[in-house]
Amino acid sequence: MADSRQQQSPRPVRLAEYTPPAHLVDTVQLRFELGEEWTTVSSRLTVRANPERIEAGPLVLDGRELELLEVAVDGRPLGEGEYALDAESLTIPEVPERFTLEVTTRIRPQENTALEGLYKSSGTFCTQCEPEGFRRITYFPDRSDVMARYTTTIVADAQRYPVLLSNGNRIGAGTLTDGRHWVQWEDPFPKPSYLFALVGGDLARVADSYTTMSGRQVALHIYVEHGNEDKVDHAMRSLKEAMAWDEATYGRECDLDVYQIVAVEDFNMGAMENKGLNIFNTSAILAKPETATDADFQRIEAIIGHEYFHNWSGNRVTLRDWFQLSLKEGFTVFREQHFSADRYSAPVQRIEDVRRLRTAQFPEDDGPTAHPVRPDSYIEISNFYTPTVYEKGAEVVRMMYHLLGPEDFRRGTDLFFASHDGRAVTTEDFVRALEEASDRDLSQFRLWYTQAGTPRLFVDAEHDPGAATYTLHVRQEVPETPGQAHKQPMHIPVAVGLLDRAGNALPLRMEGEEPGGTTRVLELREAEQSFTFTGVGEDPVPSLLRGFSAPVRLEHDHRDQDLAFLLAHDEDLFTRWEAGQELACRSLFRGVAAYQAGDEMRLDETLVEAFGGLLRGDAGDKALVAEALTQPDEGYLADLMDWPVDPEAIHQARRFTRARLAQALGDDFLYSYQANQEGGEYRPDPGAIARRRLKNLSLAYLVAGGVGEGIEAAREQVHTATNMTDRLGALRPMVAEDVPGTAESLEAFYTQWKDEPEVMDKWFAIQATSPHYGTLAGIRRLLEHPAFNFKNPNKVRAVLGAFARGNPYRFHAPDGEAYTFFADQVLRLDRINPQMAAALARAFSRFRRYDEARQRLMREQLERIRQDPQLSRDTFEIVTKSLGAEENG
């Protein structure tokens, strides 16, 4: 069975056991004969012993689920006794110093549902090789520190597969007499096997071009299914923006003659940065106003940018081994976030980055699968494409950016790219380049790569009116995480400011220093440290962790009034938002306590005033106002709640608060709804996006509050909307509240959009996350719906992923039936797509955060999954780690 784990437990791979490859490969010639029953892959490699190794020893190649047809060394086919095969490798004991190796294998892409290696997505052949998919195509040293030059010939039926693509430049093509044709590609850049890509299908091409800063022409080709040509304008524009941004910001120029992107419907993640041939999930590329929301437009631009930026951070300079994954991912996410901040609003971008970090990474860092940004070991590397490696990794790079300042950071990245171009390196090489370029000592800072767990900061303030000093006492604690009991104090940049009682920012001065600006970065290095500001006559309000200067959990006992004050006055827009969220969380937790005690829930006046002030104020940045008015979600509240998490009380308190706020501020929400209407053509520019956001947020509140005019407006808007942002902006709150007319609107929406898979994903997700439609019975119905497809990851994410993550109230229903059902789905999916199954299984990993009854129910399901004799390595790792931490206490 695909990927099945034999009875014994798989052995972890450890960073400490890294050794350079025994053999290097200089050139790879591949020939693919794509067929309906099978595909034949012939490879010809020039191999030599690695001079860095004293003795190369036998040649060991990785390979999984391959049918070996022939293997030859220097043209001589090997007999049976001359090589050894097992489930994961091909070993040739005796090989010369230098030789050519020829291998022919047969694979069945049309049966590949794991979507790793070569597979078919709606009739199109495509590949996904990162991290270890190439070994499902042919036998090869499938590791990122083996870099070679590839020439690829693809042969296929000319009618069915007119488009045949691979990395690099097209150097030849022809037709065969049997109705097949061939195309040959040559990639001039040496690359690791994980960046190999191939596509074969009947696709439409949209072409454009870009002139680089040195005047080179790069052809830009985006391939989509016929009929989707009208949905790539935005992606194409975004690509050109990204290319210009990387030139201006990092001095990085595109090194290709042709940059190709292909959209496929079945894809395990968003997109993949294969050299010169990106492959994208359709959901991460296709957009037109009628079918995509503002959020989709922004996400597409970010992902297009992300994959493009990898051309330097990842491809030109690649990874020595998979433990270094954050070298490319953390850095590239940071680059992507910076790009988006420059394109839209920097503070709003920061808020969104932090929200993602807190909802996905903080819980991971605080649970049984916690691991450092640079992990020490893994069972299945596919499980390590995590929020920690990506998002926390980006935070780590961001902290260095701010510690060094933009100029020195740029000098550092220039040095990094120049000294490691064409090589496979480590996070250590990156940090060292930044140090060399800046004269900063980052030795203690490196702990961010090796220590897991989110540091907690406790801040106490002391004002001495007599001496006119203000002292911040800061204490840090890094919590214990699996395998790391004792932690060292970290180097943490804490940006702070002080406000006087009129709301003015105070110029900051520390003992023996000239007065500086109004923001000061305190560099915390000890477990406990105090920082004293002088010339502070009146007791100020501290503004702490401005811009979220470090990925930590900060605790300071601001009074509610001080939070409202910061929300209204702070010059740092992130901190304003943060104060509003903290205020909202406090109010919500008072509601939780009341609900649990059976008392009446009450709405806090401070919150009503603060929110009313935001709505009525003439705050320039509407996007920021919308962010501030957005309630923290149930998952985030669960993460903040002391043991045991009570999903029901959280749900009820949040629902109550939302409805009461809407009632208390009904006129303001109605006014905001009307004032932010706009006619004219849809444009995804920052101003229009912000207005729609505020308008639809107001609408959602009104619907939640049962305000008649709001419900009417939503019913109307869902039909009359001319873009998907507004249509969903009305439908989503209707489905969340199940107001009269919802079922009809859902049906009408389905009829209108059933042929648009990306739109259907939204239709599924809003139901799966609704307390009314996302009940267990509702989820079962969605899985049986004709538009659902268990083999399509987008559909699985839209229903099962959305249910577990976005509907904790129903997922954690006390009878545990949803748990049993969900575990059934994990097991069913594990046979089809282990990566996706492992991702879903994470829904149970923090079961210890819940009450005894729910714990027992979830543990039972984890045990049941673990006992499956055919369980994949992917799911096995997640499930055993989840249970293991429980056993170890």
**Could you tell which of ligand B3K, Zn ion, none binds residue 130, using a CB distance below 5 to 8 A set by kind?**
ligand B3K
Q: Which residues contact 751 (CB under 8 A, 6 or more apart)?
A: none
DSSP 503-555: SPBPPP-BTTS----S-EEEEE-SSEEEEEEES--S-PEEEESGGG-SS-EEE
Whichever of 310 and 558 has its CB closer to ligand B3K, that residue is 310
Pairing of strands 98-107, 149-157: unpaired
The C-alpha angle 39, 45, 51, rounded to 5 degrees, equals 145
Q: Which residues contact 432 (CB under 8 A, 6 or more apart)?
A: none
Cβ(480)–Cβ(492) below 8 Å: no
Supply the minimum distance, in Å, between the C-beta of residue 383 and ligand B3K: 9
**Could you tell which of ligand B3K, Zn ion, none binds residue 408, using a CB distance below 5 to 8 A set by kind?**
none
Closest alpha carbon to 234 in 813, 712, 802, 683: 683
Whichever of 142 and 329 has its CB closer to ligand B3K, that residue is 329
Beta bridge partners of 121: 124
Supply the minimum distance, in Å, between the C-beta of residue 271 and ligand B3K: 6
**Could you tell which of Zn ion, ligand B3K, none binds residue 269, using a CB distance below 5 to 8 A set by kind?**
ligand B3K
Write out the binding residues for Zn ion, residues 327-386 only, by CB under 5 A: 329, 332
Cβ(772)–Cβ(752) below 8 Å: no
Supply the minimum distance, in Å, between the C-beta of residue 272 and ligand B3K: 5
Cβ-closest position to ligand B3K: 130
Rounded distance between C-alpha atoms, residue 723 and residue 686, angstroms: 16
Tell me, what DSSP letter sits at residue 633? P
Rounded distance between C-alpha atoms, residue 821 and residue 805, angstroms: 15
Supply the minimum distance, in Å, between the C-beta of residue 469 and ligand B3K: 48
Whichever of 280 and 656 has its CB closer to ligand B3K, that residue is 280
**Could you tell which of ligand B3K, Zn ion, none binds residue 307, using a CB distance below 5 to 8 A set by kind?**
ligand B3K
Whichever of 336 and 868 has its CB closer to ligand B3K, that residue is 336
**Could you tell which of Zn ion, ligand B3K, none binds residue 632, using a CB distance below 5 to 8 A set by kind?**
none
Whichever of 130 and 868 has its CB closer to ligand B3K, that residue is 130
Cβ(132)–Cβ(874) below 8 Å: no
Give the 3-state secondary structure of residue 573: helix
Beta bridge partners of 281: 264
Size of the site for Zn ion (CB under 5 A): 2
Supply the minimum distance, in Å, between the C-beta of residue 9 and ligand B3K: 22
**Could you tell which of Zn ion, ligand B3K, none binds residue 385, using a CB distance below 5 to 8 A set by kind?**
ligand B3K
Closest alpha carbon to 341 in 298, 309, 295: 298
Supply the minimum distance, in Å, between the C-beta of residue 313 and Zn ion: 9
- Integer Rg of the chain from CA: 28
Supply the minimum distance, in Å, between the C-beta of residue 134 and ligand B3K: 12
Cβ(784)–Cβ(749) below 8 Å: no
Which residues are near ligand B3K by CB under 6 A? 130-131, 268-269, 271-273, 306-307, 310, 329, 382, 385
Instruction: Record the tokens describing residue 516, joined without a space.
Output: 């500086």
Rounded distance between C-alpha atoms, residue 710 and residue 731, angstroms: 12
The C-alpha angle 525, 549, 315, rounded to 5 degrees, equals 100
**Could you tell which of Zn ion, ligand B3K, none binds residue 442, using a CB distance below 5 to 8 A set by kind?**
none
**Could you tell which of Zn ion, ligand B3K, none binds residue 201, using a CB distance below 5 to 8 A set by kind?**
none
Handedness of CA 563, 569, 571, 572 (dihedral sign): positive
Write out the binding residues for Zn ion, residues 314-333 only, by CB under 5 A: 329, 332
Q: Which residue bears the tokens 């985006």?
A: 222
Whichever of 29 and 382 has its CB closer to ligand B3K, that residue is 382
Write out the binding residues for Zn ion, residues 39-78 only, by CB under 5 A: none
Cβ(488)–Cβ(541) below 8 Å: no
**Could you tell which of Zn ion, ligand B3K, none binds residue 578, using a CB distance below 5 to 8 A set by kind?**
none
Instruction: Record the tokens describing residue 617, joined without a space.
Output: 């104020």
Rounded distance between C-alpha atoms, residue 303 and residue 298, angstroms: 9
Pairing of strands 318-319, 424-425: parallel
Tell me, what DSSP letter sits at residue 603? -
**Could you tell which of ligand B3K, Zn ion, none binds residue 854, using a CB distance below 5 to 8 A set by kind?**
none
Q: Phi/psi class of residue 46: alpha, beta or left (left: φ > 0; alpha: ψ in -120 to 50)?
A: beta
Please provide the size of the chain in residues: 889
Taking the mean position of all CA atoms in its chain, how far away is CA 253?
25
Whichever of 130 and 365 has its CB closer to ligand B3K, that residue is 130
Taking the mean position of all CA atoms in its chain, how far away is CA 879?
21
Instruction: Record the tokens describing residue 138, joined without a space.
Output: 């042919």
663 to 188, 395, 671, 701, 708: CA distances (angstroms): 64, 39, 13, 9, 11
Supply the minimum distance, in Å, between the C-beta of residue 331 and ligand B3K: 11
Whichever of 302 and 610 has its CB closer to ligand B3K, that residue is 302
Supply the minimum distance, in Å, between the C-beta of residue 62 and Zn ion: 23
Supply the minimum distance, in Å, between the C-beta of residue 273 and ligand B3K: 5
**Could you tell which of ligand B3K, Zn ion, none binds residue 221, using a CB distance below 5 to 8 A set by kind?**
none
**Could you tell which of Zn ion, ligand B3K, none binds residue 138, using a CB distance below 5 to 8 A set by kind?**
none
Supply the minimum distance, in Å, between the C-beta of residue 131 and ligand B3K: 6
Whichever of 119 and 611 has its CB closer to ligand B3K, that residue is 119
Supply the minimum distance, in Å, between the C-beta of residue 390 and ligand B3K: 7
Tell me, what DSSP letter sits at residue 324? G
Helix axes of 686-704 and 294-309: crossing angle, nearest 10 degrees: 130
Active-site residue identified among 307, 336, 578, 756: 307
Instruction: Record the tokens describing residue 740, joined without a space.
Output: 């009269």
Handedness of CA 112, 114, 115, 117 (dihedral sign): negative
Verify whether residue 407 is a known catalytic residue: no
Whichever of 390 and 636 has its CB closer to ligand B3K, that residue is 390
Whichever of 380 and 627 has its CB closer to ligand B3K, that residue is 380
Tell me, what DSSP letter sits at residue 221? E
Whichever of 63 and 131 has its CB closer to ligand B3K, that residue is 131
Rounded distance between C-alpha atoms, residue 759 and residue 295, angstroms: 13
Cβ(453)–Cβ(481) below 8 Å: yes
Which residues are annotated as catalytic? 307
Interface residues toward Zn ion, by CB under 5 A: 329, 332
